[in-house]
């Protein structure tokens, strides 16, 4: 394992600071418009500084205590048991990032879990950012590490999408092909990479492009990423939409090291809208293209683990439904 990997795309608690800054900086009405704008920008800049610090995950994160680690190990064991029980050998897996739940996204990071992984069974093949090298890499991460990557021992979610046989076989074959996986790896990482651009790439975009090559019978040579994005467009893939809701914040976001605006269409920048590949958009595409695909969702709190089968999401707060399986935690 390379040193100091960052195997997450969007686990940045400071993201919520944008809205907080706007609420905290609402100034009384009337007069002095220029002064109000300057003050609002100053408040937003304060939020930006906090956000920048939270995005600097290459400095390392505080590890959960022993009890929390034990809980997450149990969660990972349940995930692997569900994968084994499924009878499948490949799955699309996603995990939560706490900050994005407040922006309407439960899941932040997705990859391909492979029973035949060259690492250990059910490792997750994914894009990660190598901090020491300052570039993205492909990484096979054990399921326990993947679950712990949510960095929230109090509440977290894992999604498993199981594919029909032909699609599963094609994705497994493509994901295990090191040459193909590396052909699709972009040279520069951006957490909010434009889904139909090649200047940057995030972890979920790499997965979307991998799926395109698996299912699109695309040429084995040539512009791999361009071919994949063309196929995704032709298949009506819809990336997730993020709205900063206030134009100057889009400009401020461009000052952060893992966020960029220069790859997004000009009108999107004006509207402070970002079209980004996320687990939600990947799962929606799979569900639309492959109606036979099935889904298992898990969540955990200090009290229990909940397992739900089906596409209906678990209630926020990890509240079990009548048909869910609940395992009490000591």
Q: Give me the tens of pLDDT residue by residue for the chain, a chain 330 residues long.
A: 333 444 445 333 322 222 333 333 333 333 444 344 333 333 333 334 433 444 445 666 677 889 899 999 999 999 999 999 999 999 999 999 756 776 678 999 999 999 999 999 999 999 988 878 888 999 999 999 999 988 788 999 999 999 999 999 999 999 999 999 999 999 999 888 999 999 999 999 999 999 999 999 999 889 999 999 999 999 999 999 887 665 555 555 556 677 777 888 888 877 778 899 999 999 999 999 999 999 999 999 999 999 999 999 999 999 999 999 999 998
In the chain, what are the domain boundaries? 5-328
Instruction: Please report, for residues 24, 152, 186, 225, the alpha-carbon distance to residue 183 in angstroms, rounded to integers and kept in the order given.
Output: 46, 33, 8, 8
Phi/psi region, residue 60 (left: phi>0; alpha: psi -120 to 50; beta: rest), is: left
Per-residue confidence (pLDDT) for residue 187, from 0 to 100 = 94
Rounded Cα gap, residues 242 and 239, in angstroms = 10
Closest by alpha carbon to 309, among 321, 319, 295, 320? Answer: 295
The one-character DSSP state at 58 is G
DSSP string, 286-319: HHHH-TT-EEEEEEE-SSEEEEEESSSPPBTTTB
Global pTM value:
0.83
Half-sphere exposure of 80 (CA within 13 A, CB side): 18
Instruction: Please report, for residues 104, 156, 308, the alpha-carbon distance to residue 151 in angstroms, rounded to integers and kept in the order given.
Output: 18, 9, 22
Query: Where are the alpha helices (H) located in the chain, listed in sequence order?
Result: 17-24, 33-55, 66-86, 98-101, 143-148, 165-176, 178-183, 203-216, 224-234, 247-253, 266-270, 279-289
């Amino acid at each position: 394992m390379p040193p100091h990997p960052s195997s997450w795309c969007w686990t940045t608690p400071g993201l919520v600071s944008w809205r907080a800054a706007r609420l905290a900086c609402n100034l009384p009405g009337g007069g002095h418009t220029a002064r109000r704008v300057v003050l609002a920008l100053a408040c937003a800049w304060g939020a930006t500084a906090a956000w920048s610090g939270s995005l600097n995950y290459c400095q390392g994160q505080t590890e959960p205590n022993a009890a929390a680690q034990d809980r997450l190990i149990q969660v990972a064991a349940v995930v692997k048991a569900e994968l084994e029980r499924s009878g499948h050998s490949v799955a699309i897996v996603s995990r939560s990032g706490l900050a994005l739940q407040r922006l309407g996204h439960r899941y932040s990071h997705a990859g391909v879990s492979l029973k035949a992984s060259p690492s250990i069974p059910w490792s997750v093949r994914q894009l990660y950012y190598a901090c020491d090298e300052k570039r993205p890499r492909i990484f096979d991460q054990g399921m326990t590490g993947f679950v712990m990557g949510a960095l929230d021992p109090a509440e977290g979610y894992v999604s498993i999408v199981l594919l029909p046989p032909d699609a599963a076989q094609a994705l497994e074959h493509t994901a295990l092909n090191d040459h193909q996986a590396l052909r699709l790896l972009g040279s520069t990482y951006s957490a909010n990479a434009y889904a139909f651009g090649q200047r940057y790439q995030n972890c979920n975009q790499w997965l979307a492009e991998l799926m395109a090559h698996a299912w699109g019978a695309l040429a084995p040579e040539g512009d791999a990423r361009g071919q994949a994005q063309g196929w995704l467009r032709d298949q009506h893939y819809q990336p997730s939409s993020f709205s900063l809701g206030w134009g100057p914040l889009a400009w401020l976001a461009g000052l952060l090291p893992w966020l960029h605006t220069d790859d997004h269409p000009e009108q999107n920048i004006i509207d402070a809208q970002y079209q980004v590949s996320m687990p939600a958009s990947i799962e929606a595409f799979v569900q639309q293209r492959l109606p036979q695909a099935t889904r298992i969702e898990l969540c955990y709190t200090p009290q229990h683990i909940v397992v739900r089968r089906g596409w209906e999401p678990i209630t926020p707060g990890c509240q079990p439904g009548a048909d869910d399986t609940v395992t009490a935690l000591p």
